[in-house]
Amino acid sequence: MRVAMIGAGYVGLVSGACFSDFGHRVTCVDTHPGKIEALRLGRIPIFEPGLSELVAANVAADRLSFTTDLAGALEEAEAVFIAVGTPSRRGDGHADLSYVYQAARDIARAMRHYMVVVTKSTVPVGTGDEVERIIRELRPDADFAVVSNPEFLREGAAITDFKRPDRIVVGTENERARQVMTELYRPLFLNQSPLLFTSRRTAELTKYAANAFLATKITFINEIADLCEHVGGNVQDVARGIGLDNRIGSKFLHAGPGYGGSCFPKDTLALIKTAQDYGAPVRIVETVVAVNDQRKRAMARKVTEALGGSVRGKTIGVLGLTFKPNTDDMRDAPSVAIITALQDGGAIIKAHDPEGIEQAKLVLDNVAYVDTPYQAVEGADALVIITEWDAFRALDLKRIHGMMAQPVVVDLRNIYRPEEMLSLGFRYSSVGRGLADT
């Protein structure tokens, strides 16, 4: 099949590359000439494991191409995906749908034959209705169907998630569109991936509900971690104990500094705003957002307490800046709030991240960015681990102890064992593992 993908960002590029790897002919369209030129030259604008190789292979096979010409991309396309950004709108927290609606207008002007218009972007309930209205208003003669097909991609594992999904949700009640979407995803039938057809509005809501539930699990275990610290419990054992219950599951039960990234913060906020607009507030999600925001600053206080109540004039080495490993994404990363709070307290920050430094420079000022973990800890009064990159899991702890001005480690991802750290002479603090580590 021939597919056009509007938006060559994270979702559009991953989806386009994977569809082309299935054997479809995909053209990724973007309004930024510089991005398109870079992609043609093989330069990938984001870090995602395996994506560069996947793009290169399918470009070489003439199944994947890049252009700024939407009309040309739609000439033979049977489906066009809208995969543009929907950031939180400044001022009110609603999803900014201006890029989605502009894409709808552009499609309306360019389409010349029957086409399935697929919203891949994360959009609030009713967006598909508005996309359809926009196209029909501009092109009352057009033959098309609007479908919702939300993405469920984890940054750092997006290719695997696309090719071996837990489920594929398609929102349409149009039989012709249903056949097109079934054919698009037919290569996944060998993996027995569930293809769930729903109404369009149900599909739109499913994406928000999924992210809100996962954010709730993270926030829940973080609050249990706080309780563990007061009563002498171990949150990792609690998480195992409840995660072995099949009704709960073990995923997203890892205590830490709070969730961040491109999805959870904006999607929970957009769901709250949508629910308020319809007079059906989601109180649990409202609390999740509030607790998560507070938690990031609380982690900075944890570092301050580990240094005796003040960080003024202290040098703090930070390991991990991105919101999670295997990405360079700094959007709503806990490190931003934590480092900013420490700087407000007078701390001097040295930081290392395997992939996120260039993006971090755009959002964090007055930080000394270094090339290795050991450069970050040299002469530091405290080491803070914020992101659990694999490269941080087996550091030479004896070497680190000898390099630091004070052997203080605040492990916000519980990478190391308290008893080992204490035996090496560190003053060690972690998350939700009781009083033994203080």
Q: So where are the chain's domains?
A: 2-198, 212-429
Torsion angles phi and psi, residue 369, rounded to 5: -90, 130
Half-sphere exposure of 116 (CA within 13 A, CB side): 25
Write the CA distances from 170 to 11, 65, 212, integer angstroms: 16, 25, 19
Which positions are catalytic? Answer: 263
CA distance 425 to 397: 10
Asked, colleague to colleague, whether 2-198 and 212-429 share their fold, the answer is: yes
DSSP 134-180: HHHHH-TT--EEEEE------TTSHHHHHHS-S-EEEE---HHHHHH
Q: Would you state the pLDDT for residue 75?
A: 95
Q: Would you state the pLDDT for residue 438?
A: 40
CA distance 376 to 383: 8
Other CB atoms within 10 A of residue 381 CB: 20
Angle at 85 between CA 79 and CA 86, to 5 degrees: 110
Report whether 432 contacts 229 (CB < 8 A): yes
Instruction: For 212-429, give the CATH class.
Output: alpha beta
> What superfamily would CATH give domain 2-198?
NAD(P)-binding Rossmann-like Domain (3.40.50.720)
With a cut of 70, list the residues of the chain below it in pLDDT: 434-438
Torsion of CA 380, 383, 386, 392, to 10 degrees: 110
Q: Would you state the pLDDT for residue 219?
A: 98
Q: Give how far the C-alpha of residue 83 lies from the chain's centroid of Cα atoms, to the nearest Å.
A: 15
Q: Would you state the pLDDT for residue 190?
A: 76
Report whether 48 contacts 8 (CB < 8 A): no
Sign of the alpha-carbon dihedral angle for 219, 221, 225, 231: positive
Q: What is the pTM of this model?
A: 0.92
CA distance 47 to 57: 17
CA distance 333 to 48: 17
Report whether 236 contacts 414 (CB < 8 A): yes
Q: Would you state the pLDDT for residue 434?
A: 65
